[in-house]
């Protein structure tokens, strides 16, 4: 935090009504957690969740780092999100406001969402799906998507949602790894006025081998277009559930029962199945929604993330519903029919809390500056009281624009740092308490012991950068990597820190005076493109799998004004190095290939061809050098060991 950065105090009116009001209240909560860690979490778990069988044990750390929370308690996530709100008299309250790509709006009350979830749950049970089975959900943003997740939770089946932009290959890998017995999908998804296939991609995935565990494919009608249905395996969701009862007794599961698996890119090729528990995860989803977003009964909350990512799990499907909130589910994209879509929706639905990603903000800044009609000032945004940012660090300039033009200078911005693995917010301002600094996620959420350490685990003084760790376990943390406990330990509790600290994989620095955290970027080979984590290895493997063309590939990230980071690929072909139009042609083939292997989000922005890659004498690719080339920096490091210095010029040419 430099002195030229502005400091924004919580508006007095906001602070006066906030759930956590003023820094003293924040510090008192932190102190409470410090003095009685287990007691702090237990109190919130009793206050926020309904337990079928109350827990007596809070934290079991006897098999660290495989921590257990509230292990002897039983509950059900769907009961906590739906039934109890109906029992509290909120049955007629709107749970979800769904706006389709074309602008059609559907409102669903808590009673209606409960009835739909129960019908789906009964439908799944009628197919023999039971507690402990895994179900893949490959669907776009929809009421059906949220209900499908709740229905799995209701019967104790573990769901794994796969983002609708992933390819057949990525879907296949996740089906195989989970051993899923069923896939829930739709005929199509509709985005930006286009129908994109989902069911056809599921069909393709199931032909790629390793998916024998799948017995049923359930298809939600979205487009109504004719699709291929395989008899005995495929059926329409409506045909299965319309005749089912609208009540279904929840399956009461132990707090540690896996609620979901969600796959995330690691620094090695194979995606990691992050396993989350039911009790601890739901607690933190509810607690952070309550405190970070200061959620009130009359709020209209809009998190723009997709349910295929963790943000959509925690701050659409579970957190706000556990508190009886009203939220928006949006099918489309921020730029269709024009770049004023977000602002129009905030105006139409009188959104009070808006949570989105820096990439979306940056692309909308660009659009607003070139076209006044889509500038936020052309819309009524006075319903907003709080803004949030998620997915990657937000740069100060985008923060200031967001604050001024979207929030009208009156809305605090909660810049939230957290990960798929952490389940909910880790470092974040509390809007009624924390003075804000643009570009900083400020201070840890009460109860979260975040710290910055050296490579050997020593605490770093404020003002010096280092590695971000969490020193104590917390309820919503990752439990393991599905089917690979060793990789879990190696990835998150490495020997460098004697296996004691959770390694976030990000670098960070604390301000010398305020102690505020700023995230500086990944320390491993994982890129953050538009808030989506992409492993460099994964993209390299996809490029090299184009065997007829590619001999070798290396992928690094470079800063990008819109997406935060852009993917830059250096490629050696099995034929002479192409130039001019031919190079552009081959670059297109390679981009399309990566899109097919992983999904469109992984397509490299830059592709550069060289006769070979820069390597050390021991044969390691000099990635630091490639990072400098990608950024267009002057090369200052020693290149005398390079066999062929001419490649440096070759690798600066973009295609």
For residues 279 and 254, give the distance between their C-alpha atoms in angstroms, rounded to a whole number: 8
For residues 579 and 595, give the distance between their C-alpha atoms in angstroms, rounded to a whole number: 23
The pTM score is 0.91
Question: What pLDDT, on a 0 to 100 scale, did the predictor assign at position 655?
Answer: 86
Which residues, 6+ apart, have CB-to-CB distance to 563 below 8 Å? Answer: 359, 362, 529, 530, 605
Rounded average pLDDT over 574-603: 94
CB neighbours of residue 494 within 10 Å? 14
Question: What pLDDT, on a 0 to 100 scale, did the predictor assign at position 496?
Answer: 85
What tens digit of pLDDT does each residue of 600-651 get? 999 999 999 999 888 766 666 788 789 889 998 887 766 766 767 788 888 8
Q: What is the largest CA-CA distance in the chain?
A: 74
Tell me the torsion sign for CA atoms 322, 323, 324, 326.
Answer: negative
For residues 204 and 649, give the distance between their C-alpha atoms in angstroms, rounded to a whole number: 41
Q: Please say whether the beta carbons of 202 and 183 come within 8 A.
A: yes
What tens digit of pLDDT does each residue of 137-154 get? 999 999 999 999 999 999
Rounded average pLDDT over 521-537: 82
Q: In 261-340, which residue ranges form alpha helices assigned H by DSSP?
A: 279-291, 310-312, 319-322
What tens digit of pLDDT does each residue of 402-425 get? 999 999 999 999 999 999 999 999
Token code pair at residue 546? 């184009």
Confidence class of residue 366 from pLDDT cuts 50, 70 and 90?
confident
Confidence class of residue 538 from pLDDT cuts 50, 70 and 90?
confident
Confidence class of residue 580 from pLDDT cuts 50, 70 and 90?
very high
Question: What pLDDT, on a 0 to 100 scale, did the predictor assign at position 48?
Answer: 98
For residues 224 and 542, give the distance between their C-alpha atoms in angstroms, rounded to a whole number: 34
pLDDT higher than threshold 70 for residue 71: yes
For residues 469 and 472, give the distance between their C-alpha atoms in angstroms, rounded to a whole number: 9
Coil/strand/helix, residue 102: coil
- Write down the mean pLDDT value for the chain: 94
- 409-414: Cβ within 8 A, 24+ apart: 410/11, 410/385, 411/384, 411/385, 411/386, 411/387, 412/8, 412/10, 412/11, 412/14, 412/386, 412/387, 412/436, 413/387, 413/388, 413/389, 414/292, 414/293, 414/386, 414/387, 414/388, 414/389
What tens digit of pLDDT does each residue of 166-213 get? 999 999 999 999 999 999 999 999 999 999 999 999 999 999 999 999
Question: What pLDDT, on a 0 to 100 scale, did the predictor assign at position 641?
Answer: 63
What tens digit of pLDDT does each residue of 432-448 get? 999 999 999 999 999 99
For residue 556, which of 571, 567, 540 has the smallest C-alpha distance?
567
Cα-based torsion angle of the residue sequence 616, 619, 624, 629 in order, rounded to the nearest 10 degrees: 90
Tell me the torsion sign for CA atoms 319, 447, 400, 361.
Answer: negative
Look up tokens 């250096």; give the residue: 570
Question: What pLDDT, on a 0 to 100 scale, did the predictor assign at position 208?
Answer: 97
Which residues, 6+ apart, have CB-to-CB distance to 511 below 8 Å? Answer: 1, 437, 440, 462, 463, 518
- Percent of the chain with pLDDT strictly greater than 90: 82
**Strands lying side by side in the sheet with 272-277:** 234-236, 216-220, 182-186, 134-138, 158-161, 258-264, 272-277, 480-481
For residue 390, which of 365, 374, 414, 420 has the smallest C-alpha distance?
414
């Amino acid at each position: 935090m430099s002195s030229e950065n502005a400091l924004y105090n919580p508006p007095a009116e906001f602070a006066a009504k906030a759930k956590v009001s003023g820094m003293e209240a924040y510090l008192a909560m932190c102190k409470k957690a410090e003095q009685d860690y287990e007691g702090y979490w237990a109190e919130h778990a009793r206050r926020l969740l309904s337990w079928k069988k109350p827990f007596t044990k809070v934290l079991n750390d006897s098999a660290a780092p495989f921590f257990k929370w509230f292990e002897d308690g039983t509950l059900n996530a769907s009961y906590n999100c739906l039934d109890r709100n109906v029992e509290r008299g909120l049955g007629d309250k709107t749970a979800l406001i769904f706006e389709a790509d074309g602008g059609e709006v559907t409102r669903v009350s808590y009673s209606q969402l409960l009835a739909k979830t129960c019908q789906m749950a009964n439908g799944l049970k009628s197919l023999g799906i039971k507690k402990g089975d895994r179900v893949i959900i490959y669907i776009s943003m929809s009421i059906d998507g949220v209900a499908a997740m709740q229905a799995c939770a209701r019967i104790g089946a573990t769901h794994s949602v796969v983002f609708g932009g992933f390819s057949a290959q990525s879907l296949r890998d996740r089906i195989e790894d989970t051993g899923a017995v069923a896939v829930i999908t739709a005929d199509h998804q509709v985005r930006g006025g286009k129908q994109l296939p989902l069911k056809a991609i599921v069909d393709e995935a199931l032909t790629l081998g390793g998916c024998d565990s799948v017995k049923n494919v359930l298809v939600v009608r979205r487009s109504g277009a004719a699709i291929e249905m395989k008899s005995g395996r495929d059926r329409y969701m409506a045909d299965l559930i319309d005749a089912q009862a609208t009540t279904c007794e929840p399956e009461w599961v132990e707090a540690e029962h896996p609620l979901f698996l969600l796959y995330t890119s690691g620094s090695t090729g194979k995606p990691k199945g992050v396993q989350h528990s039911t009790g601890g995860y739901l607690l933190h989803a509810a607690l952070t929604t309550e405190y970070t977003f200061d959620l009130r009964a009359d709020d209209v909350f809009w998190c723009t993330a997709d349910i295929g990512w963790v943000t959509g799990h925690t701050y659409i499907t579970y957190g706000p519903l556990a508190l009886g909130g009203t939220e928006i589910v949006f099918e489309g994209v921020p730029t269709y029919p024009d770049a004023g879509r977000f602002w129009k929706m905030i105006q139409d639905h009188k959104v009070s809390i808006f949570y989105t990603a820096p990439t979306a903000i940056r692309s909308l800044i660009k659009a607003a500056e070139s076209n006044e009609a889509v500038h936020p000032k052309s819309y009524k945004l006075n319903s907003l009281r709080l803004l949030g940012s998620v997915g990657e660090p937000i740069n100060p300039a985008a923060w200031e624009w967001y604050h001024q033009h979207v929030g009208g200078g009156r809305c605090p911005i909660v810049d939230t740092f957290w990960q798929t693995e952490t389940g909910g917010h880790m470092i974040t301002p509390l809007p009624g308490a924390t003075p804000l600094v643009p570009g900083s996620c400020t201070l840890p959420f009460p109860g979260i012991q975040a710290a910055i350490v050296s490579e050997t685990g020593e605490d770093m003084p404020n003002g010096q950068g280092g590695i971000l760790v969490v020193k104590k376990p917390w309820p919503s943390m990752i439990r393991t990597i599905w089917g690979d406990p060793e990789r879990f330990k190696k990835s998150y509790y490495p020997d460098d820190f004697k296996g004691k600290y959770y390694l976030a994989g990000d670098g960070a620095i604390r301000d010398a005076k305020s102690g505020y955290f700023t995230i500086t970027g990944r320390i491993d080979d994982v890129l953050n493109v538009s808030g989506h984590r992409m492993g460099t290895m994964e993209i390299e493997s996809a490029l090299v799998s184009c065997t007829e063309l590619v001999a070798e590939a290396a992928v690094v990230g470079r800063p990008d004004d819109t997406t935060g980071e852009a993917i830059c690929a250096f490629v050696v072909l099995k034929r002479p190095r192409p130039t001019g139009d031919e190079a552009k042609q081959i670059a297109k083939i390679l981009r399309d290939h990566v899109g097919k292997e992983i999904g469109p989000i992984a397509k490299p922005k830059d592709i550069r061809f060289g006769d070979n890659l820069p390597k050390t004498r021991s044969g390691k690719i000099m990635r630091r050098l490639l990072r400098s080339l990608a950024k267009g920096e002057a090369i200052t490091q020693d290149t005398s060991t390079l066999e062929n210095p001419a490649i440096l010029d070759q690798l600066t040419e973009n295609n």
